[in-house]
Amino acid sequence: MDAPTLTLLLAAASAAGWVDAVVGGGGLVLIPVLMLVFPGMVPATALGTNKLTALSGTASAAIRLFPRTPLNWRALAAAFVVAAAFSSAGAYTASRLPVSVFKPVVLVLLVAVGVFVATRPRFGTAEHSSTRTRATTLTALAVAAVVIAFYDGLMGPGTGTFMIITLTAVAGTTFLESSATAKVLNSGTNVGALIVFAAQGVGLVLSAWCCWRSSW
């Protein structure tokens, strides 16, 4: 690998780490670069590499948010485990899809999610005046830990953003609380998917280190 290519990969990993740490969606940066630099790369390999870097970004961001954000740790711990399990199922499904089907779907999703995030930069950040209840909180956690988690393992782009939108809109939490909760759940989905992808030998450790550094 020549120096310009390596520089591009590290720059993309750094940018992805920063995006994951702030709001989520670092895959929108890193995955296209990986598929551009390695045109023959199997999409599952690109997703696995992204999971390695995403875990670095989301975990370090979650650690930074812990001291200043009150969270329901009992419910969140259970949701973390569920999210990891459903993300693993999604990753396993992704590894079994034919490349001829999977690659176009990934590209379309990247464009669609990118356009959505770009045109609605504040969507999901507004606080809701509705009363927060146990039912709304559990519903939001269930959607994030099951539906969005499976999507993260299967495809991935925009997962953090989707989680924040769900938690803010359904549970009525503040943006900071939603962001902290999403970081924890997203760490779980990254762990679950990474276990499956790592078993297939995918992931770039160097880009993960760069992503971790950029998230602090």
Task: Give the model confidence (pLDDT) of 136-170 as tens digits.
Answer: 889 999 999 999 999 999 988 788 888 988 998 88
pLDDT in tens, 20-37: 776 667 777 888 888 888
Instruction: Please say if the pLDDT value at position 203 is more than 80.
Output: no
What is the C-alpha to C-alpha distance for residues 167 and 30, in angstroms, rounded to an integer?
25
Domain residue extents for the chain: 3-204
Tell me the pLDDT band of 85, cut-offs 50, 70 and 90: very high
CA dist 130 and 114 (Å) reads 29
What pLDDT is attached to residue 121? Answer: 56
What is the pLDDT confidence band of residue 78, given thresholds at 50, 70 and 90?
A: very high
* pLDDT tier for residue 97 given thresholds of 50, 70 and 90: confident
Which pLDDT value is given to residue 201?
61
Q: How far apart are CA 109 and CA 103, in angstroms?
A: 10
Q: What is the pLDDT of residue 117?
A: 66
User: What does the pLDDT average to over 112-121?
Assistant: 70
130 φψ region: left (φ > 0), alpha (ψ -120 to 50), beta (else): beta
d(CA 64, CA 52): 19
Sign of the alpha-carbon torsion through 72, 73, 74, 76: positive
What pLDDT is recorded for position 106? 75
What Cα–Cα distance (Å) separates residue 38 from each residue in 6, 31, 86, 138, 172?
Answer: 12, 10, 29, 41, 42
Write a three-state SS string for 109-133: HHHHHHHHHHHCCCCCCCCCCCCCC
Considering the chain, what is the average pLDDT of its residues?
79
CB 202 within 8 A of CB 5: no
Annotate 55-95 with DSSP letters as a single string.
HHHHHHHHHHHGGG----HHHHHHHHHHHHHHHHHHHHHHH
Q: 87 is written with which tokens?
A: 């993300």
pLDDT tens digits for range 61-70 = 777 777 777 7
- pTM as predicted: 0.79
pLDDT at 141: 93
Q: Calculate the alpha carbon distances from 160 to 28, 61, 62, 106 in Å.
A: 11, 12, 12, 17
Encoded amino acid at 129, one letter: S
